[in-house]
Chains A and B, each alone.
Chain A
Amino acid sequence: MTISMNMIWLILGCMIVTLLPRIIPFIFVRSVQMPEVVLKWLSYIPVCILTALVTESMLQDTGSLLRFNWHVVIALIPSVITAIWTKSLSLTVIIGVVCMALLRFIM
């Protein structure tokens, strides 16, 4: 159970730069009435960012080359079907994890 002074400063620095982008919008939005067009723009953020996070996981950065992580691409198919079919977050996660474990076992 040790920690150096340098490490404490590093962690505090990282804490501040993580907190700022998370908190500033919450303070800012209280005092500013955002125009309709900005609200509309924000309504597209969830779909965009979730697609980005899923796509990011499908891509594998191996040094200078970028390629698809086929395990992820294949495991996503039953996961997405489960999500459409059951509308259940828990079931999708369970099916996804089981498929990924099977894929890594057989391939």
Chain B
Amino acid sequence: MSLPLLEQTRTANEDSFVQGVKDCVPTLLGYMSIGFAFGIVGISSDLSILEVALLSILVYAGSAQFIICALLVTSTPASAIIFTTFIVNLRHFLLSLTVAPYLTRYSLPQNIGFGALLTDETFGVAASRIAGQGELHNRWMNGLNITAYLCWIAACTLGAVSGQWISNPEALGLDFALVAMFAALLVLQLQSTPKNKLTHRLSLVLYMIISMIVLSFLLPSHIAVLISTIVVATIGVVTDR
């Protein structure tokens, strides 16, 4: 009897809220630097600190927030800004659709909460959890999501407050934190792939790179991301044996 019990405590710890918080930590440098940069950009686009804070609390989507600022500066009509935000965030539909099947056993309000706080980064961490363990738990998800959310709000607001003094946060290389993280999450995804499927996955990575480079000549990059992902995932299904 002692072994199953031991097993149970182990999983309970690994799927705890605190473990979710811990698994979020590597992503925080990325959030903080991009959030901080957003605060500075927001202030220099004539937003108030309150407006920067509200954007990060209610919209909570890095790339969309930057684009909103850029459009506000060129006095784009609100309807066009909202439509652009919608297009930029459409990829979240694919992210949610990928994670949602692993959380259906929890209540509807809980699921809405998981969805509302899903970002590229939390998705990446959750996807490598799925690749490693094959399942997700609500406490772990909440630990991950809430840590990321609070850090984002804090970083954006702090950036806005210090926006008056700092003009060039890029010199420190912090904006690269997110890219390095996405690259690491990709490597972890590939490493958790069974050996006999690795060549197949690597070929998809290659198709993705080619598709992104070609489509980026013709389309805005967020649409290139969407189309490339849909097309190459389909190639993945067709070419899988």
A residues near B (Cβ < 8 Å) are 1-3, 6-15, 17-30, 34, 37, 39-57, 59, 61, 66, 72, 75-76, 79-80, 82-84, 87-90, 92-104
Do A41 and B237 have beta carbons less than 8 Å apart? yes
A107 → chain B, closest Cβ, in Å? 12
Q: List 22 A-B contacts (CB under 8 A).
A: A3-B54, A10-B81, A11-B55, A14-B59, A18-B61, A18-B64, A19-B116, A22-B118, A23-B96, A24-B115, A29-B101, A42-B98, A45-B97, A45-B233, A46-B127, A50-B127, A59-B221, A61-B216, A66-B217, A88-B26, A89-B184, A101-B173
Do A83 and B183 have beta carbons less than 8 Å apart? yes
Known contacts A18-B85, A23-B116, A90-B25; 10 further A-B pairs (Cβ under 8 A): A15-B59, A18-B86, A19-B116, A45-B94, A52-B224, A52-B225, A89-B184, A89-B185, A96-B177, A96-B181
Do A44 and B100 have beta carbons less than 8 Å apart? no
User: Contacting chain A: which of B5-13, B44-52, B148-156?
Assistant: B44-52
Complexed CA–CA distance, A8 and B189 (Å): 40
Chain A residues within an 8 Å CB radius of B118: 22
Do A44 and B58 have beta carbons less than 8 Å apart? no
Complexed CA–CA distance, A25 and B112 (Å): 9
**Chain B 34-74, CB within 8 Å of chain A: the 1/0 string?**
00000000000000111100110011110010001000000
B187 → chain A, closest Cβ, in Å? 4
Complexed CA–CA distance, A102 and B175 (Å): 13
Residue in A6, A15, A89 whose Cβ sees the most chain B Cβ within 10 Å? A89
| With contact pairs A45-B229, A96-B180 given, residues A61 and B234 touching in the complex (Cβ less than 8 Å) | no
Do A56 and B176 have beta carbons less than 8 Å apart? no
Query: Which residues of B (153-191) have their CB < 8 Å from a CB of A?
Result: 170-191
Q: Pick from B181, B186, B225, B234: contact of A47, CB below 8 A.
A: B186
B residues near A (Cβ < 8 Å) are 25-27, 29-30, 33, 48-51, 54-55, 58-61, 64, 68, 78, 81-83, 85-86, 89-98, 100-101, 103-104, 108, 111-112, 114-116, 118, 120, 123-125, 127-128, 130-131, 170-191, 201, 204-205, 208-209, 212-213, 216-217, 221, 224-225, 228-229, 232-234, 236-237, 240
Chain A residues within an 8 Å CB radius of B112: 23, 26-27
Do B186 and A51 have beta carbons less than 8 Å apart? yes
| With contact pairs A7-B51, A10-B78 given, residues A34 and B101 touching in the complex (Cβ less than 8 Å) | yes
| With contact pairs A26-B114, A47-B189 given, residues A55 and B209 touching in the complex (Cβ less than 8 Å) | yes
Complexed CA–CA distance, A24 and B191 (Å): 31
Complexed CA–CA distance, A47 and B124 (Å): 9
B52 → chain A, closest Cβ, in Å? 10
A49 → chain B, closest Cβ, in Å? 5
Residue in A45, A52, A79 whose Cβ sees the most chain B Cβ within 10 Å? A52
Chain B residues within an 8 Å CB radius of A92: 180-181, 183-184, 187
